[in-house]
Structure 1
Amino acid sequence: MNASIILDAGFRAAPRISAIEVSEILRITNHANALKSQGQDVVVLGAGEPDFDTPDAIKVAAISAIERGDTKYTVLDGSRAMKQAVQQKFEAENGLKFALDEITVGAGAKQIIFNAFMATLQDGDEVIVAAPFWTTYADVIAICGGKTVVVKTTEKDGFRLTPEALAAAITPRTRWLLLNSPSNPSGAAYDAEALDKLAAVLKRHPQVWLMADDIYEHILYDDAVFATPRQVAPHLANRILTVNGVSKAYAMTGWRVGYGAGPKALIAAMAIVQSQSTSCPSSVSQAAAAAALLGPLDIVRERCREFQRRRDFVVAALITTDGLACRTPEGAFYAYVNCAGLLGRATPQGHRLTSDIDVCRYLLDSVGVAVVPGTCFGLAPYFRLSYATSAAVLEDACKRIARACALLQ
């Protein structure tokens, strides 16, 4: 039984959650924040949340919705206005056309992913996920009765799934390939050519659907052009679900609005799941999200340039730190740091570091920097550092990390 579940007399946890913990990312972040509240000097680089505020125009749209009295239930999987905004976003930014009944809106992209798996997975169905991957994927798949098939990527391949590895992982039980680009935690991004090669493999396996998690679409660097599978492989359109949301690009994590677009039958099945869980997303949040999607992208691009400046600083600092290496990410706002060079070294207290978990504990205990071990993301020995915070904080954190590494023997 999961040790994190407090057992009262007569309580019995359902088997579907008995092996699942609360997100390790949240646990580490909460622990670090608790240390801060106790007066300890801690820098928290664990959470995937932009430090920017929600743009003013979006706030105004929400306030206007409240003043108009738009505070009632909407259609259970998204208001017409919100779906129209999603429709226009896909056509204007991605060249994709969807009917309104091919679009769904939920309380965050996480709910869209959950709804899709709950609506489609039978016990034992397999979902292929490339490691490193966002920790939630495997847990959601497990809750929905599926089995996560982890395919480990390499730095040599840019932390990207290769066509050969995908082909080798597919079995008669494979139901989905889940692809995240740009990626949390590695920052790896797939261009149109890479997506086309993966699509060619899927074409040979008509039972395999593709879920594209595009939540970091607008956080892409070095003038790279974003590509999404439905755009690259229209011949697979009848088995692609494209997932996105407003949390990352528009700094709207707390508004809880995500959306998806795909085949009508899938969207209808997902609506059934949502109807018996949360029902509609917040009406006010939908009004704000619609304004975000229909508004100009100027502030999004400006913030992306700031993220790129932070990325460049962090990578430069880390690669000059003894024992660390770091590939330059193409997108998102994370550095996935190779700490293999620290393993086997001893702390000033004589404790030998044998894993990335040890490294992360050492950084928190010795210099007060909280990062997330790569073990949580399915690929070790690494740690994920979020640079979605100010330049001053990042400079301080990198100096602390360098100091901690220098103390190892």
Structure 2
Amino acid sequence: MSRPLSLSSRAEALQPSLTLAISARAKALQKEGRDICSLSAGEPDFDTPDFIVEASVEALRNGMTRYGPAAGDPHLRELIANKITSENGIPTSAAEVLVTNGGKQAIYNLFQVLLNPGDEVLIPAPYWLSYPEIARLAGARPVAVPSSAADGFRLDLNALDAAITPASRVLVINSPGNPTGRVLSRDELLSIAELMRRHPRLVVMSDEIYEYLLEDGVTHHSFASLAPDLQDRCFMVNGFAKGWAMTGWRLGYLSGPESVIKAASALQSQSTSNVCSFAQQGAVAALTGPRDCVQTMAESYNRRRSFLVSGLQAMDGITLVPPQGAFYAFPQLPDGCGDSMNFCRRALEEEGLAIVPGAAFGDDRCIRLSCAVSRETITDGLHRLNRLLKAG
């Protein structure tokens, strides 16, 4: 019998996605006949709007099935640049845009071309679970800057400043945030800009994938629009997955200084090459078509988010910072519940409730629940969670 092949050190160190692992376990239990209620979804529960689908179908019929430019369809890049300029307030040209296979590849490409072994990536916690792993794949060291539910998950600027070392290279900000749903205020972003001015080697990667999913009365600000003097050190990651319900289409983009975008494009040309040609025509339709579908979905999430928040706030011992955007809640568990991994394991095995442990996001005291499901599923999930909490 042959010996198993050894893996690279980077593969050995890589942690698989906990959200995908929980989803797989929940599906396995369903196949066994278990009644499973899932509040773990990290994607919209809407279908992609018809006019976007039709644009890609038409592109297929017109023979758009061949290779395209590695950096993306030129017309799409121009539209994205126009969108960033007019909607986000950041003057951007098509040469400063790279179309990627989802937002995750945008982050991967950026880290690969910016980071060297020994560099540090500053990541405010709680954070989206892939940031640290993508940093490690680039040979960098992720440095978490913690916050807590007791403080409203506000970023502690003093703690962030203290975490900066000569090795610090990238600061990650994510607003609206996954998993907390928190939206960084204008004043907070201006304070981050002041810190950036004191550390000229540091660059910012602003993940704005949830920009359209906002509670009524809450405003999203793009970091670079508030600090034009720092634009040569600012990168935006965004895409079509959340706002237009296009997760499976794998359409994201990276924008920033042209020299880095050119390097990221070269990397993409040697890895995945272009994003699916006909899918990009769906993105063209999304940017040029009506936005009422985006607003309708956002309003639905608002109603369901409020319903989820009310249910969680009614539970004894739960500490919740009400989310202002995205489609998650990130409550802190009562004392005595143990760590989030074991709690979520119990929730799935004992109550058939699929939720995501906060340990995946850098806070082992919390759990993440999604409202991107029906109101009935939210009601069912809240009942199961409450039973588990009462059982101790």
Deviation for aligned residue 1:71: 1.4
Aligned partners of 1:164 and 1:296: how far apart in 2?
A: 43
Aligned partners of 2:91 and 2:229: how far apart in 1?
A: 14
2:375 to 385, 391, 394: 391
SS in structure 1 at match of 2:290: coil
2:217 to 223, 244, 249: 223
Q: Per-residue CA shift, 1:301-335, capped at 9, x if unaligned?
A: 11111111111111111121233232210111110
Q: Per-residue CA shift, 1:177-212, capped at 9, x if unaligned?
A: 011101110111112211011010001111000000
Kept in 2, the 8 Å contact 1:88–1:294? The answer is: no
Which residue of structure 2 aligns with residue 346 of structure 1?
none
Report the more deviating stretch, 240-249 or 153-162.
153-162
5+ long unaligned stretches in structure 2: none
Kept in 2, the 8 Å contact 1:132–1:378? The answer is: yes
Deviation for aligned residue 1:155: 2.2
Which amino acid letter does the alignment assign opposite residue 206 of structure 2?
A: A
Deviation for aligned residue 1:354: 2.3
Deviation for aligned residue 1:393: 0.7
Which residue of structure 2 aligns with residue 4 of structure 1?
none
Deviation for aligned residue 1:92: 2.7
The percentage of counterpart residues that share the same residue type is: 39
Aligned partners of 1:102 and 1:295: how far apart in 2?
A: 23
Which residue of structure 1 aligns with residue 358 of structure 2?
374
SS in structure 1 at match of 2:149: coil
Aligned partners of 2:297 and 2:319: how far apart in 1?
A: 26
Deviation for aligned residue 1:285: 1.1
SS in structure 2 at match of 1:340: coil
Q: Per-residue CA shift, 1:235-256, capped at 9, x if unaligned?
A: 1000100110000111000000
Deviation for aligned residue 1:293: 1.8
SS in structure 1 at match of 2:244: coil
Which amino acid letter does the alignment assign opposite residue 172 of structure 1?
A: P
TM-score, length-scaled by structure 2: 0.97
Distance 1:50 1:149, change over 3 A: same
Deviation for aligned residue 1:38: 1.6
SS in structure 2 at match of 1:92: helix
Deviation for aligned residue 1:220: 1.0
Deviation for aligned residue 1:297: 1.8
Q: Runs (4+) of structure 1 moved beyond 4 Å?
A: none
SS in structure 2 at match of 1:285: helix
User: 1:6-405, aligned counterparts within 5 Å?
Assistant: 9-341=3-335, 343=336, 353-405=337-389
Q: Per-residue CA shift, 1:71-118, capped at 9, x if unaligned?
A: 111110111111012012112311222111111011001000000000
SS in structure 2 at match of 1:215: coil
Distance 1:356 1:289, change over 3 A: same
The two structures, once aligned, show a CA RMSD in angstroms of 1.4
Which residue of structure 2 aligns with residue 348 of structure 1?
none
5+ long unaligned stretches in structure 1: 1-6, 344-352
TM-score, length-scaled by structure 1: 0.93
Kept in 1, the 8 Å contact 2:65–2:277? The answer is: yes
Kept in 2, the 8 Å contact 1:117–1:141? The answer is: yes
Deviation for aligned residue 1:156: 4.1
Which amino acid letter does the alignment assign opposite residue 387 of structure 1?
A: C
Higher relative contact order (CA 8 A, sep 6+): 2
